[in-house]
Structure 1
Amino acid sequence: MAAEPTTPTPITTDLLRGWSLPVPGTDKESRGRTLVVGGTAHTPGAVLLAAEAVLRAGAGKLQVATTEPVAAALAVALPEALVVPLPTTRDGSLDPADAADRVLELAGGVDAVLLGPGFSDVDASRELLEALVPRLEGAAVLDALASAYVTAHRDGLRHLDGRAVLTLNPDELAKTLDVPEDRADDDPVAAARELAEATGSVVLCGGQGKAVAAPDGRTWTCDAGGPGLGVSGSGDVQAGLVAGLLSRGADPAQAACWGGHLHALAGDELAARVGTVGFLAREIAGCVPHLLDHLAGS
């Protein structure tokens, strides 16, 4: 039976201060390990943005698995991470047939896996996740085009027992639900709630404003942020923040609410300092550490 709809709870500073994140430990092991899986030979930047956001959210250790042609360059750009090259198809995507086993090997030692930043081929993305997701056991974030797996397998995340988060924009949310695009734009809370209940996962929908929905019917809204966040790479940063918070020990709904709100507040800060539009996605994550301190009351 579907949960009865409830009035969305606004995400505010007071709300988050009363919903404290796990206390940071004294070393990198205590703040969790994250694996980011994504990219193509043409989109290494998306992986870089997401991976840096994981660390800016306070996660302790980071691994990145991406296409072989760009792995070495990404390792230089991201010296904080272990970067693992994966087999690649002729068109530059991760090879669904050959990459899944290596990803599963890496995923066995982490606290959260982020799947999807930089994916660009729907079929290749779906096939990779079909080989991978049913064998995952821990917390997972499926970002953007990784939702193609959920479109094809509506119950495909149930085995994770509510430990999955879908980070989508309104267009991706509508496609995953197989409904007209304007439906998610007009009522993102209702659309996010529908997908959360259908998949047993938390859904974070980010557009102009954000909506978060949990499988039990709880919903939240965030009115911070602005049009400047509608820029290439912004969603990769948000997904990385959510994954990093999951690794630190936040529960999925908490990670989605905190991650979405941090992303929005960073956008507001950059809009005031740089301009309403024109700031870059690469600038967002750098605002997060002091915002975390502020929201924690430090």
Structure 2
Amino acid sequence: MSEPTVVTPAVLRDWALPAAGEGKRARGRVCVVGGTSATPGAVLVAGEASLRAGGGVLALATAATAAPALAVAVPEASVEGVAVDQDGNLAESAAEVLAPWAQGADVVLVGTGFSDPDASAALLRRLAPELAGTVVVDALGSAFLTAHPDGLHHLEGRAVLCVNPTELARTAGVEDDEAEADLAAVAAEVARRCRVVVLCGAAEKHVVTPEGDSWLVQGGGPGLGVSGSGDVQAGIVAGLIARGAEPAQAATWGAYLHARAGERLAAEVGVVGYLARELPAQVPQILVELG
């Protein structure tokens, strides 16, 4: 793995995002698959974050019982309700509905709001082979790659894995303290084995490609350690891909935007105490300043 590039505004300006298209179709279609009967809000914040980052068309899929409320809460999106198992997790059989639903998407974000590793892996075992666009796997969606490291190889690198250190450790098959000791190295191994771009970290975020290129994003503050924050970051990454960014670029820009949004809210609200759903609204102005 190469020495990481420390991400600064100058680095990002030299690695400019594709210009936003004039129409919603020109900025891509984002499909978010996530939540459970108890956690549809994760899909809401991820979807909003994708639009705030520049995605054009948004489609959300979650538990059928929660879909009507989600459709009202996010009027900008079309919403699909799918079957759940006895515990409220998206059922493995939902893949039959989700596969054609996701066809034609520029990016599919899956995993946000999932709560059961086994159910997550079962759904993605059925769904992942049917996905042909770029895929962002978030949080417990990583359980699929733990069980099937080659499960996204058919995408030829057009995938991003967004995980916290504990999820990274499980994906790598190592203990938490081993991952914490060298997140960059463990992320590099997962990236190589699974052929995905890995975005992982907290106060320091690491982005690593399957080829070993790496970037380091510093800052953000402790306020980002709050429920829903990772969902927002994954949504930002998905929105950047929808507007034309390559996976490594989207992951690096997404990590930076997420960190800076946290710092802005820390200054306005307090070091801790702001809510994850307040993060997406900070993103457009940060993008303007980096443009």
Provide TM-score, normalisation by structure 1.
0.96
- The equivalent residue for 1:19 is 15
- The equivalent residue for 1:104 is 99
- The equivalent residue for 1:206 is 201
- The equivalent residue for 2:79 is 83
Structure 2: stretches of 5+ with no match in the other structure: none
- The equivalent residue for 1:10 is 6
Give 1:79 shift: 0.2
SS of corresponding position for 2:282? helix
Kept in 1: contact 2:21–2:243 (CA 8 A): no
Q: Measure, in 2, the Cα distance between the counterparts of 1:186 and 1:71.
A: 41
User: What are the Cα deviations for residues 206-258 of structure 1, in whole angstroms up to 9, with x where unaligned?
Assistant: 31210000011101101121111000100000000001111111000000000
User: What are the Cα deviations for residues 102-142 of structure 1, in whole angstroms up to 9, with x where unaligned?
Assistant: 11111112100000011111111110000010121110000
- The equivalent residue for 2:58 is 62
Q: Measure, in 1, the Cα distance between the counterparts of 2:282 and 2:119.
A: 34
Displaced runs of 4 or more, over 6 A:
none
Kept in 2: contact 1:166–1:203 (CA 8 A): yes
Kept in 1: contact 2:28–2:57 (CA 8 A): yes
- The equivalent residue for 1:261 is 256
- The equivalent residue for 2:238 is 243
SS of corresponding position for 1:65? strand
Give 1:183 shift: 2.0
Give the percent of matched residue pairs that are identical in Structure 1 and Structure 2.
56
SS of corresponding position for 1:64? strand
- The equivalent residue for 2:31 is 35
Give 1:179 shift: 0.6
Kept in 1: contact 2:233–2:258 (CA 8 A): yes
Kept in 2: contact 1:167–1:204 (CA 8 A): yes
User: What are the Cα deviations for residues 123-179 of structure 1, in whole angstroms up to 9, with x where unaligned?
Assistant: 111100000101211100000000000000111111100000000000100011011
Q: Measure, in 2, the Cα distance between the counterparts of 1:182 and 1:273.
A: 34
SS of corresponding position for 1:220? strand
Answer yes or no: is 1:120 the counterpart of 2:122: no
Provide TM-score, normalisation by structure 2.
0.99
After TM superposition, list the pairs within 5 Å mapping 1:42-191 onto structure 2.
42-97=38-93, 99-191=94-186
SS of corresponding position for 1:69? coil
Structure 1: stretches of 5+ with no match in the other structure: none
Give 1:90 shift: 2.0
User: What are the Cα deviations for residues 180-206 of structure 1, in whole angstroms up to 9, with x where unaligned?
Assistant: 101222221111111111111100003
Matched AA of 2:263: D
How big is the alpha-carbon RMSD for the aligned residues of Structure 1 and Structure 2? 0.8
Indicate which of 220, 226, 229 corresponds to 1:225.
Answer: 220
Give 1:260 shift: 0.5
Kept in 2: contact 1:209–1:226 (CA 8 A): no
Q: Measure, in 1, the Cα distance between the counterparts of 2:5 and 2:182.
A: 15
Answer yes or no: is 1:295 the counterpart of 2:290: yes
